[in-house]
Amino acid sequence: MILCLDAGNTRLKWGVREGAAWRAQGACAHAECVGLAGRLPAGIERILACNVAGSVMAQRIETLAAKLGVPLEWFRSTAACCGVINAYDDPARLGADRWAALIGARGWHAGPALVVMAGTATTIDVLDAAGRFRGGLILPGLDLMRQALARNTAGLPQASGTYRDLPTNTDDAIESGILMATLGAIERMAARACRPVSADFCVLLSGGAADLLAPHIELPLMRIDNLVLEGLARTMFC
């Protein structure tokens, strides 16, 4: 069994993979990483970790590996992996989480796609039918947008509104604005990078804010939990 770890900016997502199936999955706060050792099934043979949360988190993962007594492998971006080609100007500079998500997406969908990771930041990446990552966007996640408006304006609250097509109160105006901004980026990227939209085109959506976005995406959609973990697991078989 292999323990796959996705250390994002907000949480640590984990999954225990045995063959083609997940034995267990979960998430925890960064500070709870080392304590994860007592919650995992017995028989883990190694750890494959993707970390974009900095050096302190890397040390915690190393401590977890030492506590479990298993080897640790860091997942990093490369020029190609599992049939996906990395066309970033410098492939090694692509975020490891984005690269893992692209590899996971290719395992779920063989056609052209937008891979949308809606977390602390939102990334919108283009994957063509040949498996080539052509480029993508990074923008603030929904929570960051809310926080920025509340922190940097004198009259706007930390909003808890509802999406409306034509909002008539401030909280709904903020919530609708941040959702429309993100949805607009998704739709614009699809129109520019995937024109014409083919019959097998799909948006693959994952991340903590995916449930807020999914009902409003007016494109073919596949909602996938833990796409980074799916990508890490896929690298074990290709």
Query: Percent of the chain at pLDDT above 90?
Result: 84
Tens-place pLDDT, residues 210-232: 999 999 999 999 999 999 999 99
Of 6, 89, 90, 97, the active-site residue reads 97
CATH architecture of the domain covering 80-226? 2-Layer Sandwich (3.30)
Q: Where are the domains of the chain?
A: 2-74, 80-226
Q: What is the pTM of this model?
A: 0.94
Position 197 scores a pLDDT of 62
What is the distance between the alpha carbons of residues 221 and 28, in angstroms, rounded to a whole number?
Answer: 27
* Residue 82 structure tokens: 């599992």
Tens-place pLDDT, residues 70-80: 999 999 999 99
| Mean pLDDT across 201-212 | 95
Class of 2-74 per CATH?
alpha beta
| pLDDT tier at 199, thresholds 50, 70, 90 | confident
DSSP conformation letters of 151-195:
HH-SS---------SS--SHHHHHHHHHHHHHHHHHHHHHHHHSP
Is 90 tagged catalytic?
Answer: no
Tens-place pLDDT, residues 147-193: 888 888 877 777 778 899 999 999 999 999 999 999 999 999 998 87
Tens-place pLDDT, residues 9-24: 989 999 999 988 999 9
Evaluate whether 2-74 and 80-226 have a shared fold.
yes
Position 152 scores a pLDDT of 82
Position 238 scores a pLDDT of 83
Tens-place pLDDT, residues 109-129: 999 999 999 999 999 999 999
Residue 198 has pLDDT above 80, yes or no: no
Question: If you average pLDDT over every residue of the chain, what do you get?
Answer: 93
